[in-house]
Amino acid sequence: MIDYNLCTGCRLCEIACTLKHEGLIWPDASRIKVFEPYPGVPVPQVCVQCPDYPCVASCPTKALKVSDVSGAVLVDSALCTLCGNCVKACPGGIPRIVKGFSYVIICDLCGGDPACVKECSRVGYNALKLIKKPSSTTIKLYAKPPEVIAEDLKERVLGGE
């Protein structure tokens, strides 16, 4: 879950993610991305684990599967061909093709203990929270492109300017 009103746009979540997954700070390789389509309107975007997993269903090589433990989408790097079907199928366009990777990257929830959530909480922002079994209504709120989410936030933050 993301509380957009609490996000400062600090991008510590991106740093925590890449340190966990890549062992270095590499924002392009972060599984969570913070967009700022309008000044002062940060929009964190991460996989919300849609109940029907359209990305998984779209993969022609079966490179994506759902973890039995965390419910997160896992990528089999040996099977991924970077066809982009998962990116197109995702309502938020979350899976990412990143230069330097031979497979798509997507949030794996860090095995059930997301580094981004821990870091956001550690510094006291609490804009990110892990919710076990969110409702489909909650998921639909977050499973949108950041530009769409930013439009609503812009109205509240900037007064519709």
Q: What is the pLDDT of residues 97-151, one digit of tens each?
A: 999 999 999 999 999 999 999 999 999 999 999 987 767 666 776 778 888 888 8
Rounded CA separation 104/88 (Å)? 12
> What is the share, in percent, of the chain residues with pLDDT greater than 70?
94
pTM of the model: 0.88
Tokens of 54: 């359209």
- Rounded to an integer, what distance in angstroms lies between the CA atom of residue 70 and that of residue 79? 21
Cβ distance 31 to 47 under 8 Å? yes
pLDDT value of residue 147: 86
Partner residues linked to 16 by β-bridges: none
Kindly report, residue by residue over 26-38, the tens digit of the pLDDT: 999 999 999 999 8
Q: Chain centroid to CA 44: how far?
A: 7
Tokens of 142: 């977050």
Give dist(CA 107, CA 30) in Å, integer.
Answer: 9
Q: Which CATH architecture has domain 12-155?
A: 2-Layer Sandwich (3.30)
